[in-house]
């Protein structure tokens, strides 16, 4: 069974639009580039042709990735809960520090805001899931250090 991707409505809409653009305009544009490059002659030494084919491969890979996400997604609404969940904007304060940091909890596909995105599968992200504002959590960093953070707010 494929992994389920939790997305906010905004991320879903953005990915759906990107998928539609790539499968329509994108494929037509790349086909034109390949055809134009073929007309230049010998394909074995045709840099434009090889570049267009490489671009086509990358685009098709992105289309396949988007297909997997869009076929196996769940729309989440972080405003329906007072706990940290995918789509939440979390403000944290490290123990012994007065400054706070803000993150959007979600997959890299949630990017697009001015906030840094933190994976819910990361050590800190998984420690924050299900917690409420005011709670402190500890997590182990990849280097083995244990850090403590307080959840200042959830938006």
Looking at the structure, do residues 119 and 150 belong to the same domain, yes or no?
yes
Place of tokens 């994108």: 26
The domain boundary residue, chosen from 51, 75, 99: 75
What's the predicted TM-score (pTM) here?
0.74
Question: From CA 146, how far away is CA 129, in angstroms rounded?
Answer: 17
Q: Are residues 95 and 137 in the same domain?
A: yes
Read off the pLDDT of residues 51-70 as tens digits, 9 standing for 90 and up.
999 999 999 999 999 999 99
pLDDT, tens digit, for every residue of 94-121? 998 889 999 989 887 777 667 888 988 8
| Residues 140 and 94 grouped into a single domain | yes
User: CB atoms < 10 A from the CB of 58, how many?
Assistant: 10
Question: Which CATH number characterizes residue 102's domain?
Answer: 3.10.50.30
Q: What is the model's pLDDT at position 40?
A: 79
Range of 84's domain? 78-154
Is the same domain home to 82 and 112?
A: yes
Averaged confidence pLDDT in the chain: 89
Q: Are residues 10 and 66 in the same domain?
A: yes
Extract the runs of DSSP E, i.e. beta strands, from 48-96.
73-75, 89-94
Q: Binning pLDDT at 50, 70 and 90, where does residue 2 land?
A: low
């Amino acid at each position: 069974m494929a992994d389920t991707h939790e997305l906010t409505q905004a991320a879903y809409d953005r990915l759906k639009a990107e998928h539609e653009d790539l499968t329509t305009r994108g494929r037509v544009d790349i086909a034109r580039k390949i055809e134009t490059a073929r007309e230049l002659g010998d394909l074995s030494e045709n840099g434009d042709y090889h570049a267009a084919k490489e671009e086509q491969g990358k685009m098709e890979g992105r289309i396949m990735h988007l297909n997997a996400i869009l076929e196996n997604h769940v729309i989440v609404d972080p405003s329906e809960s007072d706990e940290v969940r995918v789509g939440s904007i979390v403000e944290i304060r490290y123990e012994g520090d007065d400054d706070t940091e803000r993150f959007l909890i979600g997959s890299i596909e949630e990017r697009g805001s001015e906030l840094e995105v933190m994976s819910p599968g990361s050590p800190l992200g998984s420690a924050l899931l299900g917690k409420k504002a005011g709670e402190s959590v500890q997590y182990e960093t990849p280097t083995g250090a244990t850090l403590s953070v307080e959840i200042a707010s959830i938006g």
